[in-house]
Amino acid sequence: MIQIIPAIDLIDGRCSRLVQGDFSRMTAYSESPLEMAHRFARCGVRRIHVVDLDGARTGRPANLEVLKCLSRETSLDIEWGGGIKTVSDIESALEAGAGHIICGTIAVKEPEKFASWLETYGPDKIILGADVRGLETATHGWTECSGIEIFDLVGKFVPALSELIVTDISRDGMLEGPALDLYSKIMKAFPSIILTASGGVGSMADIACLEKAGVPKVIVGKAIYENKISLEDMKLWSQRG
């Protein structure tokens, strides 16, 4: 059964969502991150995906106090990303309660450093977060195109890498369906890697399609905040297995 991982994106400590990574198209929601985390936990969710968008934009973690609160006040497994550039950033996030660290820009810009982090912390702690436009990866909070295709990027870290999050930027926040063809190609190319799909999910039918395609995990964000997918939907889904 595909695992649903709800997203909490942070700007100034608040739950926020962007459209296609564009900070000028940002929506802030009234729910606090902790309130949302508690609501997700009551639905049977085990892991949440938390992105420090301020950190992604500035290149250094900016919402670690929120991470500490989420870790202290819930028992959820937290995957955390945004602005991770140094060992100190990793250590700070782990100490604040992150269960897994998502790295994106550093893997593209300094692959040797990212490979060393995989070796030091282990593939159970370090996740590659690849953001793509078409097949090309993007960096610095989706603002820069790298010229490196997703298959070339991931191939650099096989077999050490065990978890991969791929976000289709063109679909993110659009609620128009996920990039099924892209995810199928990635799973075929890298069968040993656990793939998490991200971007475009707008309904439970989209999640069912991803499950049918064999995708192990999916991140859901805006569809929850815009009530396209209800908390009851997620609760019923989690009770299936």
**Catalytic, out of 9, 52, 89, 168:** 9
Of 27, 6, 25, the residue nearest 16 (C-alpha): 27
Q: How far is CA 194 from the centre of its chain?
A: 13
Kindly list the domain boundaries of the chain, sorted by start residue. 3-238
Tokens 């969502």 belong to residue: 17
- In the prediction, which pLDDT does 118 show? 98
Contact call for residues 108 and 148 (beta carbons, < 8 A) = yes
State residue 147's pLDDT score. 83
Q: What is the pTM of this model?
A: 0.92
Q: Which residues contact 146 (CB under 8 A, 6 or more apart)?
A: 108, 109, 136, 137, 138, 139
- Amino acid 20: pLDDT: 55
d(Cα 59, Cα 52) in Å, to the nearest integer?
Answer: 10
Count the Cβ atoms, other than its own, within 10 Å of residue 5: 22
State the fold for domain 3-238. Answer: TIM Barrel (3.20.20)
- pLDDT value of position 140: 63
For 62, the 3-state DSSP assignment is coil
Per-residue pLDDT of the chain (241 residues), as tens digits, is 999 999 998 988 888 766 655 555 556 665 799 999 999 999 999 999 999 988 888 888 999 999 999 999 999 999 999 999 999 999 999 999 999 999 998 999 999 999 999 999 999 999 999 999 889 998 765 566 768 999 999 999 999 999 999 999 888 777 899 999 999 999 999 999 999 999 999 999 999 999 999 999 999 999 999 899 999 999 999 887 6
User: Which position has the token pair 């289709």?
Assistant: 168
Q: What is the per-residue burial (b if ≥16 Cβ within 10 Å, else e) of 115-140? A: bebbeebebebbbbbbbbeeebbbbb
3-state secondary structure of 184: helix
Q: Which residues contact 54 (CB under 8 A, 6 or more apart)?
A: 10, 11, 12, 62, 63, 82, 83
Quick one: pLDDT at residue 35?
Answer: 94
Identify the active-site residue in 131, 172, 206, 233.
131
| 9 tagged catalytic | yes
Q: Residues 228, 175: contact at Cβ < 8 Å?
A: yes
Give pLDDT, residue 100.
98
